[in-house]
Amino acid sequence: MALRIIFMGTPDFSVPTLEALASAGHEIVAVYSQPPRPAGRRGLELVKSPVQQAAEKRGIPVRTPVNFREEADRAAFRALNADVAVVVAYGLLLPEAILTGTRLGCYNGHASLLPRWRGAAPIQRAIMAGDTETGMMVMKMDKGLDTGLVALTRRVAISDTMTAGELHDVLMQAGGGLMAEAMAKLEAGDLPLTPQAEGGVLYAAKIDKAETRIDFSRPAGDVHNHIRGLSPFPGAWFELSVAGKPERVKVLASERSSETTAKPAGTVLDGRLTVACGDGAAVRLVRLQKAGGKPLDAADFLRGTPVPAGEVLA
């Protein structure tokens, strides 16, 4: 028999899991998602989340409570008489009344190898830290922050050039299949549940705007990881003087350079946007975007905005 599932998710990252569960024949009795948010240049249009849009295409009823503080919302959740809730990037901390509001509990698809990178930004933090591996995990949720028992794991390698956006897409697809496998095992009564390791706990704090500026005084490897860990969003950036005015430039891709130098950190070393870093090594900025402009490869960027060797980026 198929499971009666409540699905809870919001961004595009969650959609493949919803689709995989529906395609596997489970009954999605309701979808919970964050309420429509203002969008557009003036913020006047309310836009439904990717999960809400995907659910409505399938004719699945959608609920968008702001939170679960009201007893009416909790009662409505319980009244669905679901076997299980599946949570992927929903965006709310769930109270115990929701965690225990289905017959078999709540299962979360989390984008890290727990207990490393619990919290809000595991994809970005893994790359920024220079990790060479991450993965998707299915975890039975408890009251803690990503502290529950782990059911299934799918490991994913992180290459030296992979950006957060690229890793996001790989994990997004892996997550759908992994959760479908977990629900099949749960339905059959043979889903394993293992406590997380006690050591190696790291928290993936939400990315703060204050940490997005590139600090070229750091080692080249750290600068490169910082850039790719914040690409494409929110984007690592530096300031460039254009027509005598400082202008913010995002760097969407970089690569390590074999060049070494004794010049100050931030110094542009050549006509290819190779930049000195704090350890005497360098990075090459290979894809950039000015505020309001489109992303450009370095050669195209330099044709419109010359950056001579010797200029210091900050």
Q: Where are the alpha helices (DSSP H) in the chain?
A: 15-23, 50-57, 71-78, 96-99, 122-128, 164-188, 220-229, 298-304
Q: Is residue 1 pLDDT above 70, yes or no? A: no
pLDDT score recorded for residue 39:
81
Fold match flag (4-203 vs 209-304) = no
What is the DSSP pairing of strand 27-32 with strand 62-63?
A: parallel
Phi (first) and psi of residue 89, to 5 degrees: 50, 50
Q: Is residue 236 pLDDT above 70, yes or no? A: yes
What is the Cα gyration radius of the chain?
A: 22
For the chain, the average pLDDT equals 96
pLDDT score recorded for residue 252:
98
In the structure, what pLDDT confidence band is assigned to residue 43 with cuts at 50, 70 and 90? Answer: low
| Spans of all domains in the chain | 4-203, 209-304
| Bond before 35 cis per omega within 30 degrees | no
Name the CATH topology of 4-203.
Answer: Rossmann fold (3.40.50)
Q: Is residue 302 pLDDT above 70, yes or no? A: yes
Instruction: Give the separation between CA 160 and CA 95, rounded to whole angstroms.
Output: 39
Instruction: Give the separation between CA 92 and CA 96, rounded to whole angstroms.
Output: 13
Instruction: Give the separation between CA 252 and CA 231, rounded to whole angstroms.
Output: 5
Instruction: Give the separation between CA 5 and CA 23, rounded to whole angstroms.
Output: 13
Q: Is residue 241 pLDDT above 90, yes or no? A: no
Arithmetic mean of pLDDT, 288-310: 95
Phi (first) and psi of residue 70, to 5 degrees: -80, 135
Name the CATH topology of 209-304.
Answer: Methionyl-tRNA Fmet Formyltransferase; Chain A, domain 2 (3.10.25)
Classify burial at 14, counting beta carbons within 10 Å of its beta carbon; exposed 0-12, middle 13-18, buried 19 or more: buried
Phi (first) and psi of residue 226, to 5 degrees: -60, -45
Arithmetic mean of pLDDT, 185-191: 97
In the structure, what pLDDT confidence band is assigned to residue 140 with cuts at 50, 70 and 90? Answer: very high
Q: Which residues fall within 8 angstroms of residue 276, CB to CB, at 6 or more apart?
A: 216, 261, 263, 264, 265, 266, 267, 269, 282
Lowest mean pLDDT among 33-47, 275-289, 297-311: 33-47
List the one residue out of 58, 68, 66, 72 whose CA is nearest residue 29.
58
Q: Which of helix, strand or coil describes residue 174?
A: helix
Arithmetic mean of pLDDT, 135-148: 97
Lowest mean pLDDT among 109-118, 153-162, 240-249: 240-249
